[in-house]
Amino acid sequence: MMLLDDRKQRILQAIIDDYISTAEPVGSRTVARKHELGLSSATIRNEMADLEEMGYLSQPHTSAGRIPSDKGYRFYVDKLMKVRELSADETESLRKAMEVRISEVNQLLKQASSVMSRFTNYTSVAVTPQMKKSVIKAIQTLPIDTGKALVVVVTNAGVIRNSIVKISESILPDTLTRIANFLNDKLSNMTIEKVDKSIFNEIERELVIPGKVVKPILDAVTHCIKQIDCPEVYLDGAINIFNHPEFRDISKAKEFLSVLDEKYVLYSIMDSVSNDRLINVLIGAENKVEEIKDCSLVTTTYSLGGMTIGSIGVIGPTRMEYSKVISSMKFIREKLNQEINKLLGDVDED
Amino acid sequence: MMLLDDRKQRILQAIIDDYISTAEPVGSRTVARKHELGLSSATIRNEMADLEEMGYLSQPHTSAGRIPSDKGYRFYVDKLMKVRELSADETESLRKAMEVRISEVNQLLKQASSVMSRFTNYTSVAVTPQMKKSVIKAIQTLPIDTGKALVVVVTNAGVIRNSIVKISESILPDTLTRIANFLNDKLSNMTIEKVDKSIFNEIERELVIPGKVVKPILDAVTHCIKQIDCPEVYLDGAINIFNHPEFRDISKAKEFLSVLDEKYVLYSIMDSVSNDRLINVLIGAENKVEEIKDCSLVTTTYSLGGMTIGSIGVIGPTRMEYSKVISSMKFIREKLNQEINKLLGDVDED
DNA sequence: AATTAGCACTCGACAAACTAGAGTGCTAAC
DNA sequence: GTTAGCACTCTAGTTTGTCGAGTGCTAATT
């Protein structure tokens, strides 16, 4: 495959920069005028025809300027784009926005998502991963009231779930404590994927307590574990899409928003993004969901002790300010990792 | 003020029924044709002119049919509308949709909201109320790991919040239990609005435990209480608005969605609705938020032992299928109250 | 051989002009 | 009190024409 020579690259960059800021197809004259390449429009015209043939640009219709194709954006993001430095004001406001007392990891993610959407003017998504590999740290049962108890499950990733159970009123707090201790012995330090029916059966056999009390508690534990494993999706700044002309058409806006409404679709997209890089960029049809094939997605993940505990992404039109999004996301990622450590740092020890 | 005679009422009803189903301004001919009132279009024309003068109808422009005004809808909802009975299929599918094992009240609300939006094809909002009047049932501290403990607060309304605290590693589980017992003695059965700085100061004075441990735990309790009191807003079916022609205009859709995005605006609307009736209907400009002055809101609340623990609403264009919305909401309300009782029935005892 | 100027052509966006149709208000007849 | 008839109004949709930006090609220039 033919490579882009230096001049072609500069022209491509000029076109994409221009298109990102104006949203209008870019013509040869514009390139010649605005960017000082020392070339006439005719020359640029020829180069643009080449770039189109090579698949980096496309034409909405014959007598319009060119717009970047997915391939064009890909090249731009990988090779051409100048990384934008955040100004002091910007870092300051991001830093401030992340300074909130937060007690659970999910809340932190949610907050980060909100910050990103406001800062970038795009829509932001945050998801918690499947937690199959996370480890149970503690299980506790608390008497709340006559006939009621609370079951709490805590994992090494700082996720906490609880569930109320009705129990016979004759159960003494001590009994509950005994059950909790037994559950802790059996289950703590296990990954949740390993917790299954057979273990519960075993527990039910070994733990002989009069009155039907063990079963409902085990059910509650199961329920908590299911909830821990069940990924959550947070969304922010959905209406930001109305700021971008590509969604002026109502049916486009609807398509986009309908994807956001289906949380599991969103989840599967976020989940399928490979996370081999710090920041991942998925351009246009690189994602498989038809409805958002004109959108790009910039994502990153957070981890604690080698375990991914959440990922966050910004989604907007392919004509996205990649530079701004990527640099702010790097910053937020950093900040978020710090916060997570502050919060849970020493809980984890692998 | 002049009252509507029987014929005017029937004509008004015909017009509104028609407009609700077609979304097109209704002309005199249409009324004469579709609804068998035994009157000619000319007569109806005269009556319509009267109805307009009286404020029940309005004309988008001189040579169009009439559309109902807010006042017209109000009369329709209060007096004219035939209550729609849900079919067996419909009740069945609603009943099924509400059958999910759910452990916390908020989840239940969220589920109800989702069901309503799917069933009605409008957007649904659910909010938890301010919980100032709710009563602390239990506070517990759990050791999770060396240097970490979990603080859990439970209220009579079934709301549970927790917060992680870092504590010195030398604190023994027994000490934690002692602290918890002390907190329970002091705080349980108090309404959360009564819990303030001075009580915490008192506790800090009386509860002498070496090592800085009491303070962080109290902070965590404060944090949990703040969270309990902090209302939450759930949203579902936002894209449903695209099904309705009044939002075909992108700026209208944006206005609507921007209100949904501002959770606190939504909250304040839902909160301000008087709940003196089973089902409340707020039509058009009856709500004070400019952006949704062309929308109506149908709401209801759920309570447990006299305390409101959540409210849910459906929001859509003023041209709403009030009948369907109201009847399904009645059903969901019923169902939800049952579920809440099943879940928390005997926790509460006033 | 690469670059540029020049020119005919294409196409979409926009505005002006026109048409069809639905609905009204009014008057006069029933 | 009700209805038929008619002139009038206004919107939505279509047609037509114009403008301008941009292209591709060819021939001249460096």
pLDDT for position B343: 73
Comparing CB atoms, the residue among B138, B254, B347 nearest residue A142 is: B138
Is residue A11 in some structural domain? yes
Q: Are residues A238 and A308 in the same domain?
A: yes
B/e letters for A286-296, b = 16+ CB within 10 Å, e = fewer, are ebebebbebbb
Q: How far is A38 from chain B (nearest CA, A)?
A: 43
CA distance B91 to B86: 6
The separation between CA A92 and the C-alpha centre of its own chain, rounded to angstroms, equals 23
Q: Give percent above pLDDT 90 in chain A.
A: 61
List the nucleotides on chain C closer than 7 A to a protein CB: 3-6, 9-12, 21-27
Which CATH number fits the domain that encloses residue A277? 3.30.450.40
Q: Are residues B116 and B257 in the same domain?
A: yes
Least confident of A38-52, A309-323, B116-130, B143-157: B143-157
CB contact A230 to B (< 8 Å): no
Query: What confidence tens digit (pLDDT) does each residue in A108-125 have?
Result: 889 999 999 999 999 999
- Rg of chain A's alpha carbons, rounded to an integer? 26
CB contact A235 to B (< 8 Å): no
The separation between CA B221 and the C-alpha centre of its own chain, rounded to angstroms, equals 28
Q: B142, A160: Cβ pair inside 8 Å?
A: no
Residue with tokens 């014929």: B7
End-of-domain residue from the set B188, B213, B229: B229
Least confident of A315-324, B210-219, B255-264, B280-289: B210-219
Q: B253, A258: Cβ pair inside 8 Å?
A: no
Torsion of CA A107, A109, A115, A117, to 10 degrees: -120
Q: Which chain B residues are closer than 8 Å to A137 by Cβ?
A: 144-145
End-of-domain residue from the set B229, B258, B277: B229
Q: Which chain A residues are closer than 8 Å to B177 by Cβ?
A: none
Q: Which residue has the higher pLDDT, B167 or A259?
A: A259
pLDDT for position A345: 64
The Å distance, CA of B64 to C1' of D16, is 28
Which of A100, A118, A145 to probe by mutation at the B interface, max B CB count within 10 Å?
Answer: A145
* The pLDDT of residue A348 is above 50: no
Read off the DSSP letter of residue A287. S
* The pLDDT of residue B93 is above 80: yes
Torsion of CA A118, A120, A122, A126, to 10 degrees: -70
Comparing CB atoms, the residue among B137, B142, B164 nearest residue A145 is: B137
* Number of domains present in the structure of chain B: 3
Q: A254, B239: Cβ pair inside 8 Å?
A: yes
pLDDT for position B322: 98
Q: How are the residues of chain A apportioned to helix, strand and coil, as percentages rounded to the nearest 5?
A: 50, 20, 30
Q: Which chain A residues are closer than 8 Å to B150 by Cβ?
A: 138, 140, 152, 154, 160
* The pLDDT of residue B30 is above 70: yes
pLDDT for position B348: 39
Q: Are residues B23 and B116 in the same domain?
A: no
* The pLDDT of residue B302 is above 90: no
Q: A137, B145: Cβ pair inside 8 Å?
A: yes
Query: A128: helix, coil or strand?
Result: coil
Q: Are residues B237 and B103 in the same domain?
A: yes
The Å distance, CA of A320 to C1' of C1, is 39
Range of the domain at A162: 136-229
Contact call for residues B237 and B256 (beta carbons, < 8 A):
no
Least confident of A94-103, B29-38, B108-117, B126-135: A94-103
Query: What confidence tens digit (pLDDT) does each residue in A192-204 have?
Result: 999 999 999 999 8
pLDDT, averaged across chain B: 90
pLDDT for position B346: 55
* Residues 27-56 (B) near nucleic chain C, CB < 7 A: 27-30, 41-42, 45, 48-49, 52
Q: Are residues B143 and B215 in the same domain?
A: yes
Contact call for residues B222 and B215 (beta carbons, < 8 A):
no
Tell me the CA distances in angstroms from B268 to A33, B177, B260, one per residue in order: 53, 40, 12
B/e letters for A31-65, b = 16+ CB within 10 Å, e = fewer, are bbeebeeebeeeebbebbebbeebebbeeeeeeeb
Segments in chain B forming alpha helices (H)? 6-22, 28-34, 41-53, 70-75, 88-97, 105-120, 173-187, 197-206, 214-229, 250-261, 263-272, 322-344
Comparing CB atoms, the residue among B140, B160, B164 nearest residue A103 is: B164
Which CATH number fits the domain that encloses residue A72? 1.10.10.10
pLDDT for position A319: 97
Is residue A335 in some structural domain? yes
What are A311's two structure tokens? Answer: 């990922």
Is residue A1 in some structural domain? no
Is residue A315 in some structural domain? yes
CB contact B216 to A (< 8 Å): no
Q: Are residues A115 and A253 in the same domain?
A: yes
CB contact B278 to A (< 8 Å): no
CA distance B246 to B47: 27
CA distance A212 to A139: 19
Sheet holding A295-304, edge to edge: A233-236, A123-127, A307-317, A295-304, A279-282
pLDDT for position B2: 58
CA distance B35 to B30: 8
Tell me the CA distances in angstroms from A102 to A312, A342, B133, B163, B164, one per residue in order: 17, 11, 24, 9, 9
What are B61's two structure tokens? Answer: 């422009």
If residue A35 lies in a helix (H) or strand (E), which one and from where to where? none
Question: What's the average model confidence in pLDDT over A278-298?
Answer: 95
Please choose, from the candidates A327, A323, A319, A315, the residue with its C-alpha nearest in 3D space to the C-alpha of residue A121.
Answer: A315
Is residue B45 in some structural domain? yes
Q: Which chain B residues are closer than 8 Å to A166 by Cβ?
A: 346
End-of-domain residue from the set B176, B203, B229: B229
What are A138's two structure tokens? Answer: 């503690």
Q: Are residues A200 and A102 in the same domain?
A: no
The Å distance, CA of B51 to C1' of C23, is 16
Q: Are residues B221 and B236 in the same domain?
A: no
Tell me the CA distances in angstroms from A156 to A127, A306, B142, one per residue in order: 18, 12, 15
Q: Which residue has the higher pLDDT, B111 or B339?
A: B111
Q: Which chain A residues are closer than 8 Å to B149 by Cβ?
A: none
* The pLDDT of residue A10 is above 70: yes
Query: What confidence tens digit (pLDDT) does each residue in B145-158 have?
Result: 778 888 999 988 88
pLDDT for position A1: 46
Is residue A27 in some structural domain? yes
Query: What confidence tens digit (pLDDT) does each residue in A161-203 have?
Result: 988 888 887 888 888 889 999 999 999 999 999 999 999 999 9
Least confident of A26-30, A148-152, B101-105, B231-235: B101-105
B/e letters for A181-220, b = 16+ CB within 10 Å, e = fewer, are ebbeebbbeeebeebeeeebeebeeebeeeeebbebbbeb
Q: Are residues B12 and B105 in the same domain?
A: no
Q: Are residues B18 and B58 in the same domain?
A: yes
Is residue A243 in some structural domain? yes
The Å distance, CA of B43 to C1' of C29, is 15
* Residues 38-77 (A) near nucleic chain C, CB < 7 A: 38-40, 42-43, 46, 61-64
Least confident of A341-350, B6-15, B124-133, B296-305: A341-350
Longest Cα–Cα distance in chain B: 91
Residue with tokens 């009069």: A210
Q: Which chain A residues are closer than 8 Å to B261 by Cβ?
A: 237-239
pLDDT for position B349: 37
CA distance B116 to A39: 62
Question: What's the average model confidence in pLDDT over A224-249?
Answer: 92
Q: B248, A250: Cβ pair inside 8 Å?
A: yes
Q: How far is B68 from chain A (nearest CA, A)?
A: 26
Question: What's the average model confidence in pLDDT over B45-70?
Answer: 95
Least confident of A228-232, B1-5, B39-43, B185-189: B1-5
Which of A154, A218, A246 to probe by mutation at the B interface, max B CB count within 10 Å?
Answer: A154
Q: Are residues B248 and B307 in the same domain?
A: yes
Q: Are residues B42 and B122 in the same domain?
A: no
pLDDT for position A347: 41
Is residue A169 in some structural domain? yes
- Taking each helix axis from N to C terminus, what angle separates B322-344 and B105-120, rounded to the nearest 10 degrees? 160
Contact call for residues A97 and A58 (beta carbons, < 8 A):
no
Q: A164, B158: Cβ pair inside 8 Å?
A: yes
Please choose, from the candidates B348, B332, B302, the residue with its C-alpha nearest in 3D space to the C-alpha of residue B90.
Answer: B332
Q: How far is A180 from chain B (nearest CA, A)?
A: 11
CB contact A100 to B (< 8 Å): no
